[in-house]
Structure 1
Amino acid sequence: MTPSVPIRPACPPGVCICERDALLAKDDADLRIFKLTRQAEKELLQRLENIQDLDELHHLQRRMHEQLGIRLDIEPGFNEVRTMRGIAIRLADQPGLCRKTRQAIPAAIRRALEKRPEIAYRLLDGHDLLRDT
């Protein structure tokens, strides 16, 4: 199946785990992830890094799922949360999502949480971790 919209170019062979060719070979494959070109990825990362509140983060999570099929889970980690590293940011396994993108999205969100710790506090409060403070 040849998509009609511009798609992200292939990664160098042996470098990425995105399974791009296998996904393109499927007839019923969800090709939304290929809309994330390198330029679009830069814009997404910049927007994630500059979020202003938790509602905006949730909005971006929904939009990423609707437009690209990316499932993003953000929740307090299994152990105690002392730093932003204690917040678990996971991307669901998805064919077509490049290795670098899988690392860049959580990193951008962590930078945003470090710039605006009140977002992290609201996230923790949403999981009832700060209800008694």
Structure 2
Amino acid sequence: MPTSPPPSPPLRTECPPGACICERARLFDDPDADRRVLLLTREQEKRLIERIDAISTYAELQRIGQRLYEQLGVRLHIGPRANEVRTARGFAIELSPVPGLCRKTRQAVPAAIRRCLDRHPEIAYAVLDAHDLLGPR
């Protein structure tokens, strides 16, 4: 008796034409493309944002960044901007430009991290310290 292939995991639904810059079609044009980013459905994105909102330590923030890379192939970059950092807006927070990553996700994740940094200034200090801005000169 032939076995049926395992069910494929749900993929993120396509954005309306012209509404997004995700370049989703590039993933299907190249047979070797990394399509893991499409596994981040809207429901899972909401859970990710909730998880980011619940972060209370720098180690947790690093763990989220590592998990984003391991599971979706997306790198999270957090660091101070060229000018001085006075608030969470002074941090450059971005996701690596990966085909298939929705514009809304590229905005929602950094916004959630900024809210986290506003609520937990000790995490912001740890990010600065990781970039040697608070160390001796």
* TM-score bracket for the superposition, by shorter chain length: over 0.9
Uncovered stretches (5+) of structure 2, i.e. residues with no partner? 1-6
Could you give the per-residue CA deviations for residues 15-36 of structure 1, whole angstroms, max 9, x where no partner exists? Answer: 0111112212321110100110
The 5 A counterparts of 1:1-133 are 4-131=8-135
For the pair shown, the structure with the greater C-alpha radius of gyration is 2
Say what the alpha-carbon RMSD is for the aligned residues: 1.3
What is the letter of the counterpart of residue 104 of structure 2? K
- Gap runs ≥5 in structure 1: none
Q: Counterpart of 1:125 in 2: which secondary structure? A: helix
C-alpha distance in structure 2 between counterparts of 1:92 and 1:30, whole Å: 14
The alpha carbon displacement at 1:96 in A equals 0.1
* Aligned AA (1:50): A
TM-score when normalising by structure 2 = 0.90
**Identical-pair percentage:** 58
Q: What do residues 2-25 of structure 1 show as CA deviations (whole Å, max 9, x unaligned)?
A: x92210111011101111122123
Number of corresponding residues: 130
CA deviations over 1:78-119 (Å, ceiling 9, x no partner): 111111111111211110000111000100000000011110
